[in-house]
Amino acid sequence: MQTTTAEFKIQFHPDYASIQFSAMASPCDLLVDSQDPELIEKLALASVQETKRIENKFSRYLSNNLCHAINQSCGQPVEIDEECFRLLEFANTCFELSDGLFDLTSGVLRKIWRFDGSDNIATQAQVEQMLPFIGWQKIHYTENHICVPEHMELDFGGIGKEYAVSKVAELALKLAPSNSVLVNFGGDIQVSQAKAKGQPWQVGIENPDFDQQTTKLIAIRQGSLATSGDSRRYLLCDGIRYSHILNPKTGWPVQGAPRAVTVAANQCIQAGCLATLALLNGENAEAFLQAQNIQYWCLR
Amino acid sequence: MQLKQFKQINGALAAASCALVTGQVQAESSLLDDWQVDTAVMYYGETDRVKALEAVVNVNKDFGENHIFNGKLVYDALTGASANGAVAQPDAQTFTRPSGKAEYTIKGGDTPLDDTFRDTRVQINGQWTQPLGQNNTVTGGLHVSSEYDYLSMAINAGFARDFNKKNTNLALSLSYAFDSIEPEGGIPVAFSEMVYRSDYQSETDFWQSFNATRQSSGDDTKDTLDVIFGLTQIINRRWLVQLNLGMSQVEGYLTDPFKVVSVVDEQGYSVRQLYESRPDSRQKENLYIGSKYHFDHSILDLSYRFSSDDWGIDSHTLESRWRYNLSEFDYIAPHVRFYKQSSADFYRPFLNQQESVPMFASADYRIGQMSAYTVGLKYGRKLKNGHQASVRLEYYHQAPENSGYSAPGVLTELDLYPSLSAVILQFGYRF
């Protein structure tokens, strides 16, 4: 059985149902251990709505949303809501915990770094021109307002998708309290709760190694997985591979980082942040992950 | 490769992630991730008798897939006076303290209370429970309780199995406890007579006689084995019933070293105090039937327990708790409990001078015929930070009864079975 609407596609399989839609420039999948068409449809509608809501609010590619208003404010205070405040608080915690490596303001560097697989690397002069516009400590915010200095920008891209995965998983737990729902947005995964009988979900994730366009089958019972890597976004110049992970302190791509890092944690947003921080630590990625006492996989 | 020392940030990140996604701040609890901690402070006060203050910390942690650790720490401080077993008299009475080092005097008409009652107790429990295969659960635990003159150590183990699509659960649990007692002043010789300093010319003579009332060894022990067989049955979505059968066997020193029995003459006057004597074994069987019913906004708990032992004490307990949810965030829970017991075969409020001393005798009102009730009310509230706070107030009344002993002479005028009331106030906090 299959239902397709403009927004999502539902398919019923022998022991689960799947919901598919597209958002945040990613394929978005939900797997549900239920055959109840009413429940599945309710989940599909709510998930699409929640995902699109987050995308529309925080995407930097739109020009009529909160993110745009913040980035075009030229130092004037912009009113924010509770959700935005919570995201800023989270970003602030990450900034502090990572000694400044995790920085929501580093997105302006994309003006000089375009990771299109070419050898088009930025010059030190260009980088130095951008550095004054980077630095989370220059952002001031309260529960109701945020002030972003002129030429500075916030980029929620680094946490937006993982945040959406966590929110949709939480929503799924509320709507289907006695089912297990696996939320998978392009390899960032969170399970709402373990299946009643404890068997794991089997899910294929894209192998981060860009040389082998294969899918890796993994088993997950509960919690979440997030992957950060440079499978497609990189620069290659004089035999040096520049990953798209930029160090906000130097303005240069991080060197010596693994190609991809996958981390398991309770919340997808937590896993995603750890994976990104691991890459930012470059050649020390494994040592960083080791100290976190978590399950992880590094591809070098 | 340069190796840096990295700090652990995952705990703080987990707390921040949770705050972000759920909007709930886990204040200070990032270290206590998925530890559930219950704390309580309780005051127990009997009118004119024992007062106790108790602090409890109970922690639960689920290590995943129902591997659960439970730990509990209890601290009690007790002060006050407790009945020493002697019968009340029209005139003042003097008693030698258990240590032999001092005396205390009780006014005429009053129930003799020994006011040296003062103790602190520390109790530690640890319990591990986990599934074994698909339908079985195993559990094991340790218990240590220590007081000034008392030490108790226990181990327990249990096995439970689910049947009938988890609607039926059968459980068997065993526990073995080893207790040792080393009372102040030593252990009295059964039925030896209390001696008084004023009856002796010299300190040496008194101590010689006092020591003759004491056993050569200053300590003793007892062993307790408990076996419980339990059946829990889910009747429907709302209703659950439970049935337990228990057997308990205790061997060893079961006498209370601080209690005496008065020997009275034909006019009811006390002529001497004998240190009590109880059998050195006790076997108890009990039956418990409980029911829990979920209404739309409340839960009703009803239970009945019958217990019978080879000392001749039969007891019945009827108890009910009704938890009513006032809103999504708070509830009240009224509680009532009725209790009734028959007296032990060797319970004697006093001994008559003309009769020969029986094999065992104790005047401890706690093994005499009595009835008691408790009424209480608890209020609990879920706080904005997700923690839970509760307050409980209870009133306990105990009425010892005469199980058919006729009081001679002056004793007819006295209250030989004084009742006792207590108030319990408890504050609880869960995070």
Closest listed residue to residue A152, CA positions, set A247, A94, A72, A91: A72
The predicted structure's pLDDT at residue B29: 37
Output DSSP code: residue A65.
S
Q: Is B2 on the interface with A (CB under 8 A)?
A: yes
**pLDDT, tens digit, for every residue of B173-199?**
999 999 999 998 999 999 999 999 999
Interface test with B, best of A266, A277, A288, A298 (most B CBs within 10 A): A266
SS3 sequence of A14-38: CCCEEEEEEECCEEEEEEECCCCHH
Q: Is B24 on the interface with A (CB under 8 A)?
A: no
The predicted structure's pLDDT at residue A232: 62
Whether B28 has a pLDDT exceeding 50, the answer reads: no
Show the domain range for B218: 34-313+349-356
Instruction: Look at residue B372 and tell me if it is in a domain.
Output: no
> Stretch B293-316: mean pLDDT, rounded?
94
Instruction: Look at residue B338 and tell me if it is in a domain.
Output: no
Q: Is B65 on the interface with A (CB under 8 A)?
A: yes
Q: Which residues of A touch B23 (CB under 8 A)?
A: 82, 86
- Grouping H, G, I as helix, E, B as strand and the rest as coil, residue B331 is strand
Touching B: A residues 215-274, CB under 8 Å: 265-267, 269-270, 273-274
The predicted structure's pLDDT at residue B316: 97
Instruction: Please report, for the domain that includes residue B169, its CATH number.
Output: 2.40.128
Whether B244 has a pLDDT exceeding 90, the answer reads: yes
Whether A209 has a pLDDT exceeding 90, the answer reads: no
The pLDDT confidence band at residue B34, using thresholds 50, 70 and 90, is low
Q: Which of the following CATH numbers is that of domain A66-153: 1.10.3980.10, 1.10.3080.10, 1.10.150.530, 1.10.3720.10?
A: 1.10.3980.10
Q: Which residues of B touch A199 (CB under 8 A)?
A: none
> Stretch B339-364: mean pLDDT, rounded?
95
Instruction: Please name the member of B5, B6, B17 whose beta carbon is closest to the beta carbon of A269.
Output: B17
The predicted structure's pLDDT at residue A60: 87
The predicted structure's pLDDT at residue B32: 43
The predicted structure's pLDDT at residue A1: 62
> Stretch B70-79: mean pLDDT, rounded?
94
The pLDDT confidence band at residue B33, using thresholds 50, 70 and 90, is low
**pLDDT, tens digit, for every residue of A233-265?**
677 777 777 777 889 999 998 888 888 889 999
Whether B1 has a pLDDT exceeding 70, the answer reads: no
> Stretch B94-98: mean pLDDT, rounded?
94
Closest chain A residue by Cα to residue B25: A86
Instruction: Look at residue B49 and tell me if it is in a domain.
Output: yes
The predicted structure's pLDDT at residue B234: 87
A269 phi and psi, to 5 degrees? -65, -35
Task: Please indicate whether, in this complex, the C-beta atoms of B8 and A291 are within 8 angstroms of each other.
Answer: yes
> Stretch B144-165: mean pLDDT, rounded?
92
Instruction: Look at residue B132 and tell me if it is in a domain.
Output: yes
Higher pLDDT, B250 or B386: B250
Instruction: Look at residue B5 and tell me if it is in a domain.
Output: no
Q: Is B135 on the interface with A (CB under 8 A)?
A: no
Radius of gyration of chain A (CA): 20
Measure Cα distances from B359 to B220, B280, B304, B345, B350 in Å.
20, 12, 34, 11, 14
Instruction: Please name the member of A93, A283, A293 whose beta carbon is closest to the beta carbon of B16.
Output: A93
State how far residue A242 is from chain B, nearest Cα, in angstroms. Answer: 19
**pLDDT, tens digit, for every residue of A145-167?**
999 999 999 999 888 999 999 99
Whether A214 has a pLDDT exceeding 80, the answer reads: no
Task: Please indicate whether, in this complex, the C-beta atoms of B10 and A290 are within 8 angstroms of each other.
Answer: no
Across all residues in chain B, what is the average pLDDT?
Answer: 91
State how far residue B244 is from chain A, nearest Cα, in angstroms. Answer: 29
State how far residue A85 is from chain B, nearest Cα, in angstroms. Answer: 9
Whether B311 and B279 have beta carbons less than 8 Å apart is answered as yes
Whether B318 has a pLDDT exceeding 60, the answer reads: yes
Q: Is B19 on the interface with A (CB under 8 A)?
A: yes
Touching B: A residues 63-122, CB under 8 Å: 82, 86-87, 89-90, 93-94, 97-98
Whether B3 has a pLDDT exceeding 70, the answer reads: no
> Stretch B287-295: mean pLDDT, rounded?
93
Task: Please indicate whether, in this complex, the C-beta atoms of A97 and B3 are within 8 angstroms of each other.
Answer: no
The predicted structure's pLDDT at residue B305: 96
Closest chain B residue by Cα to residue A267: B17
Determine which of A230-234, B80-84, B205-209, B319-323 has the lowest per-residue pLDDT on average. A230-234
Cite the beta strand spans of chain A per DSSP E.
2-4, 9-12, 17-23, 26-32, 78-79, 140-141, 145-147, 181-185, 188-191, 201-206, 215-220, 223-229, 234-237, 240-243, 260-265, 296-299
In chain B, the number of structural domains is 1
Whether A210 has a pLDDT exceeding 60, the answer reads: no
Contacts of B370 (CB under 8 A, 6+ apart): B339, B340, B341, B398, B399, B400, B401
CATH entry 3.90.1150.10 includes domain A1-59+156-199: no
Interface test with B, best of A90, A163, A199, A224 (most B CBs within 10 A): A90
Q: Is B23 on the interface with A (CB under 8 A)?
A: yes
Whether A58 has a pLDDT exceeding 90, the answer reads: yes
Q: Which residues of B touch A273 (CB under 8 A)?
A: 13, 17
Start-to-end CA distance of chain A, whole Å, equals: 42
The CATH 3.10.520.10 portion of chain A extends over: 1-59+156-199
Instruction: Look at residue B294 and tell me if it is in a domain.
Output: yes
**pLDDT, tens digit, for every residue of A4-41?**
777 899 999 988 999 999 999 889 999 999 999 999 99
The CATH 1.10.3980.10 portion of chain A extends over: 66-153
Distance CA(B348)–CA(B97), nearest Å, equals: 22
Touching B: A residues 23-42, CB under 8 Å: none
Whether B20 has a pLDDT exceeding 90, the answer reads: no
State how far residue B294 is from chain A, nearest Cα, in angstroms. Answer: 19
Whether B157 has a pLDDT exceeding 90, the answer reads: yes
The predicted structure's pLDDT at residue B8: 82
Tell me how crowded residue B341 is: count the other CB atoms within 10 A of its CB: 20
Across all residues in chain A, what is the average pLDDT?
Answer: 88
